[in-house]
Amino acid sequence: MASKVIHAYYNDDDILMQAVKKVKAAKHHIEEVYCPFPVHGLDKALGLAPTRIAITSFMYGCLGLIVSIVMMNYIMIQDWPQDIGGKPSFSYIANMPAFVPVMFEMTVFFAAHLMVITFYLRSRLWPFKKAENPDLRTTDDLFVMEIEAHGNEAELQSLLASTGAIEIKSLEKE
Amino acid sequence: MASHYEAPIRKPLVLGDKGYHDVSVDIAAPVEGRANRQWWIVFSIALAALLWGIGAIVYTISTGIGSWGLNKTVNWAWDITNFVWWVGIGHAGTLISAVLLLFRQKWRMAINRSAEAMTIFSVIQAGLFPIIHMGRPWLAYWVVPIPNQLGSLWVNFNSPLLWDVFAISTYLSVSLVFWWTGLLPDFAMIRDRAVKPFQKKIYSLVSFGWTGRAKDWQRFEEVSLVLAGLATPLVLSVHTIVSFDFATSVIPGWHTTIFPPYFVAGAIFSGFAMVQTLLIIMRKVCNLESYITVQHIELMNIVIMITGSIVGCAYITELFIAWYSGVEYEQYAFLNRATGPYWWAYLLMMTCNVVSPQIMWVKKIRTSIVVSFIISIVVNIGMWFERFVIIVTSLHRDYLPSSWTMFSPTFVDIGIFIGTIGFFFVLFLLYARTFPVIAQAEVKSILKSSGERYKKLRAAGQPLHPSIQSSPQMTYQEDIPERVEELVEKIEDEVTDTSTDAGAKADDLLASLGTFNPETDKADDLKKIKGIGPQMEATLNQIGIYTFDQVSKMTSREYDMLDKLTGNFPGRAQRDDWAGQANNFKSNS
């Protein structure tokens, strides 16, 4: 269903933050804010839940560590044990010191890459993805606040105008 | 609310009267402009060196490693020296972006992008050497632990050389995603400024459709922080493991427990020196002196001085421990290093690495661009000789005096080395023309705390944001033309109201730009000019400006009038240089 949204343009991060607080205080739901650079504290002001991406990274790291241990145990201890430099491959734990570098590297490898892949998928970033910012200037110096209007357009517009928006657009959105 | 406070004693990191839009314009300029003569000259030289290197590599692979200067005593020399040298240079990028991020050093933002690019390009050079040294590089995949057709043989996980494979490939790939993730918002900025369809397509592709939602930025910041946390031990582990290639052996001069920290310090030392060399040139060529300031150069010099001192301590500790160990082979290895036939290489290493950075204690010297540039090159020469000294002098006089010998490189050894320098510069020069060389989104986020404009405003007790306008520009999808009509009416009203002065000015504006005759002239697409959107175009048309020709005649006088008439974004037309842009479009059409 087509709904009406209002785009309020701001040219300053401080004004944007004040505006977000004002709009929030007036009990309106802010659909989205598009920024050219990270504005610290904006996620809290908008009431966004904290991101859990760091937790996923920790879990991926644990996975990498386990994979490296299973892999080296199979290769060096189970499948083809050798006596290298007078250090026979009897058990994983006895030979573990030599495996530490690879265990560390694989932990980092998994934690970093899988986290970045998770980030790209969650934020819908990949090659040939079309950008969805409402205005070309939002990657330069303008901030856009998107609010859905439910028949209260005039009220919203006067509220937004009082927050220091430099441009207010209302448009249909599918 | 975000606090932008920064102690006034801190010097500004972005010089000049720069706002957010200025940062975009300055960083996009090298990408949007055309390459000049010097760029083509340097690029051709680098390309020639690369081709020479490719020739030498092809010769090595088709003839065999025998074409190198190696012999049965010195069986590891230039290739591994170059490998360690390039890996070492590849350390500064991640160090700057990861360690300095964890320490919240804002000055990293001007240099991290280029430092990371340099890291990736130099690790690529480093990786070439072991692959070439394999002799049959098409079998390079044998270093990967995959079940193979030769029976159930596996790679040896006890070997530091295999650890190297894991360390370097993890380092290269993690640095690459770290770099690319940071690039997304900046590519998006260039994408949204691009006017030519081809560039728009390319930058849309590489920016992965970055949109800049609040949630994206929240994740982006978290991902950067976690990647920095992962990359910091990673970068330390890489050169530690490289040093294991030597330290786990039983060769006197290599079998040293001090190697890991000593190699890491040396790597940071040479990496920063290379960043210094590249950025001193880049800030000049790309007009980035406002972002990469003398303060940045000074801070890098301090890092070079400190790491140089750590390296110096390591050299002296090595000598002391060799003597203190009481092992005569160890003692001889170090005595031979300093006083044997390779004394000149040792002396060069000591002077370049230990003595030369010490002059940075003098403030006048470490803030001098010329001296910094020279020292940065001297340091990298010294660091190349450090690796040469460690590797060759420890090998050339081994346990058996009958096999003592000297090493001399062949033209193939030298050719491959020169080739990698060429390859490195080819990559870096291409990068400098096509990538946003400064992390502009990050710079914008510190502009209010560390930019000169905002520091001045704060010192003057003025607000850091523009005054809130009481009447924003309202537009509705349905009635844009009406709105413009109204706007123009309003302008005309104002003009007539304040009759004498403003009225004359409005006529003046058209008089000086020339009028548009719809019968003889063709209207141009003014939106091609950066800074003119559909809105502004409509406004200009209403005033009577339709062609590039008219816009190209605008001077600061006309800009001022236009600002007065429209009231939008004062000063923007001048900063974006509409007239200059229009002139280009005019001559193109």
d(CA B362, CA B371): 12
List alpha helices for B248-293, DSSP H.
259-285
Of B218, B219, B441, Cβ closest to residue A36: B441
Single-letter amino acid code for the residue at B146:
I
Q: What residues of A are in contact with residue B1 (Cβ under 8 Å)? A: 14, 17-18, 21, 41
Query: What is the pTM assigned to this prediction?
Result: 0.82
Measured between CA atoms, how close is A55 to chain B, in angstroms? 10
- What are the tens digits of pLDDT across the range B417-449? 999 999 999 999 999 999 999 999 999 998 888
Pairing of strands A167-173, B473-476: parallel
Residues near B286 by Cβ (< 8 Å), separated by ≥ 6? B29, B30, B432, B437
Contact B441 A57 (CB under 8 A): no
Question: Which residue matches tokens 């690019």?
Answer: B117
pLDDT of B150: 66
The residues with which B475 forms a beta bridge, in sequence order, are: A169
Look at residue B506 and tell me whether its pLDDT is greater than 60: no
Mean pLDDT of B78-102: 89
List alpha helices for B326-368, DSSP H.
328-339, 343-350, 363-366
Contact indicator for B527, B533 with CB cutoff of 8 Å: yes
Q: Which residue, among B382, B430, B433, B416, has the nearest Cα to B125 in the 3D structure?
A: B416
Measured between CA atoms, how close is B116 to chain A, in angstroms? 16
Question: Tokens standing for A119?
Answer: 């980030």
What average pLDDT does chain B have?
86
Contact indicator for B53, B420 with CB cutoff of 8 Å: yes
Which chain B residue's Cα is nearest to A123?
B216
**Interface contact A29, partner B, CB < 8 A:** no
Q: What residues of B are in contact with residue A113 (Cβ under 8 Å)? A: 173-174, 177
Contact A36 B185 (CB under 8 A): yes
Contact indicator for B528, B585 with CB cutoff of 8 Å: yes
Question: Tokens standing for B472?
Answer: 């924003």
pLDDT of B491: 61
Confidence of residue B242 (pLDDT cuts 50, 70, 90): very high
Among A83-97, B179-193, B477-491, which range has the highest average pLDDT? B179-193
List alpha helices for B361-498, DSSP H.
363-366, 369-388, 394-396, 411-434, 440-450, 452-459, 480-497
**Interface contact B145, partner A, CB < 8 A:** yes
Residues near B18 by Cβ (< 8 Å), separated by ≥ 6? B26, B290, B447, B451, B452, B453
d(CA B377, CA B274): 7
DSSP tally for chain A: helices H, then strands E: 5, 6
- What are the tens digits of pLDDT across the range B466-482? 777 666 677 665 555 55
Question: Which residue matches tokens 């934020």?
Answer: A123
Contact indicator for B331, B337 with CB cutoff of 8 Å: no
pLDDT per residue, tens digit, chain A (174 aa), is: 467 888 999 988 888 998 999 998 988 889 899 999 999 889 999 989 999 999 999 999 999 999 999 999 999 898 888 888 788 888 899 889 999 999 999 999 999 999 999 999 999 999 988 888 888 888 988 999 999 888 888 888 888 888 888 888 888 876
pLDDT of B381: 94
ipTM confidence score = 0.94
pLDDT of B556: 72
Question: Tokens standing for B45?
Answer: 């030289």
B86-112: burial string, b at 16+ Cβ within 10 Å, e else:
bbbbbbbbbbbbbbbbeeeebbbbbbb
Q: Which residue, among B322, B456, B488, has the nearest Cα to B390 in the 3D structure?
A: B322
Mutation target vs A (from B189, B468, B480; most A CBs, 10 A cutoff) = B468
**Interface contact B204, partner A, CB < 8 A:** yes
Mean pLDDT of B169-193: 93
User: What do you get for the CA distance between the two ends of chain A, in Å?
Assistant: 6
pLDDT of A86: 83
pLDDT of B488: 62
Which chain B residue's Cα is nearest to A72?
B157
Q: Which residue, among B426, B451, B369, has the nearest Cα to B26 in the 3D structure?
A: B451
d(CA B453, CA B18): 6
Of A137-146, B74-83, B213-222, B473-482, the least confident: B473-482
Q: What residues of A are in contact with residue B207 (Cβ under 8 Å)? A: 131
Burial class (CB in 10 A: 0-12, 13-18, 19+), B477: exposed
Q: Which of residues 254-313 of B touch A (CB under 8 A)?
A: none
Q: Which of residues 355-414 of B touch A (CB under 8 A)?
A: none
Contact B2 A125 (CB under 8 A): no
Of A21, A34, A104, Cβ closest to residue B213: A34
pLDDT of B438: 93
- What are the tens digits of pLDDT across the range B245-263? 999 988 898 988 899 999 9
pLDDT of B271: 93
Residues near B285 by Cβ (< 8 Å), separated by ≥ 6? B30, B38, B39, B432
**Interface contact B474, partner A, CB < 8 A:** yes
Per the model's pLDDT, the better-predicted residue between B482 and B134 turns out to be B134
Mean pLDDT of B492-501: 52
**DSSP per-residue string spanning B396-427:** HS-S-GGG-------HHHHHHHHHHHHHHHHH
Measured between CA atoms, how close is B170 to chain A, in angstroms? 6
Distances (CA, A) of A107 to A65, B10, B209: 5, 39, 29
Number of Cβ within a 10 Å radius of residue A61: 21
pLDDT of B495: 53
d(CA B589, CA B65): 58
Spell out the domain ranges in chain A: 3-36+141-173, 53-122
The residues with which A83 forms a beta bridge, in sequence order, are: A88
pLDDT of B2: 47
Of B178, B444, B470, Cβ closest to residue A36: B444
CATH architecture of B20-144+157-452: Up-down Bundle (1.20)
Look at residue B383 and tell me whether its pLDDT is greater than 80: yes
pLDDT of B376: 94
Q: What residues of B are in contact with residue A57 (Cβ under 8 Å)? A: 226, 230
SS3 category, B215: helix
SS3 category, A32: strand
d(CA B25, CA B33): 11
Per the model's pLDDT, the better-predicted residue between B210 and B550 turns out to be B210
**Interface contact B476, partner A, CB < 8 A:** yes
Q: What is the dihedral of CA A53, A59, A64, A69, to 10 degrees?
A: 170
pLDDT of B357: 93
Of A33-37, B334-338, B412-416, B585-589, the least confident: B585-589
Interface A-B: count of C-beta contacts within 8 A: 258
Spell out the domain ranges in chain B: 20-144+157-452, 480-588
Measured between CA atoms, how close is B314 to chain A, in angstroms? 23
CATH match of A3-36+141-173 with 3.30.70.260: yes
pLDDT of B16: 86
Contact B209 A137 (CB under 8 A): no
**Interface contact A90, partner B, CB < 8 A:** no
The count of C-alpha atoms lying within 13 angstroms of the C-alpha of B411, restricted to the half-sphere facing its C-beta, is 4
Look at residue B338 and tell me whether its pLDDT is greater than 50: yes
Question: Tokens standing for B269?
Answer: 């030392």
**Interface contact A71, partner B, CB < 8 A:** yes
Q: Which of residues 3-62 of B touch A (CB under 8 A)?
A: 4, 19-21, 24
pLDDT of B499: 45
Of B208, B440, B470, Cβ closest to residue A125: B208
Confidence of residue B498 (pLDDT cuts 50, 70, 90): very low
Contact B20 A115 (CB under 8 A): no
pLDDT of B421: 96
Confidence of residue B1 (pLDDT cuts 50, 70, 90): very low
Residues near B388 by Cβ (< 8 Å), separated by ≥ 6? B77, B81, B345
**Interface contact A92, partner B, CB < 8 A:** no
Contact indicator for A11, B188 with CB cutoff of 8 Å: no
Q: Which residue, among B570, B569, B530, B520, has the nearest Cα to B551 in the 3D structure?
A: B530
pLDDT of B231: 92
Confidence of residue B546 (pLDDT cuts 50, 70, 90): confident
Among A107-116, B280-289, B547-556, B571-580, which range has the highest average pLDDT? A107-116
**DSSP per-residue string spanning B37-87:** HHHHHHHHHHHHHHHHHHHHHHHHHHH-GGGSS--SSS-S-HHHHHHHHHH
Contact B189 A33 (CB under 8 A): no
Contact indicator for A68, B249 with CB cutoff of 8 Å: no
Measured between CA atoms, how close is A173 to chain B, in angstroms? 11
Of A1-5, A145-149, B174-178, B362-366, the least confident: A1-5
Mutation target vs B (from A17, A32, A37; most B CBs, 10 A cutoff) = A37
Q: What residues of A are in contact with residue B476 (Cβ under 8 Å)? A: 169-171
Q: What residues of A are in contact with residue B442 (Cβ under 8 Å)? A: 37
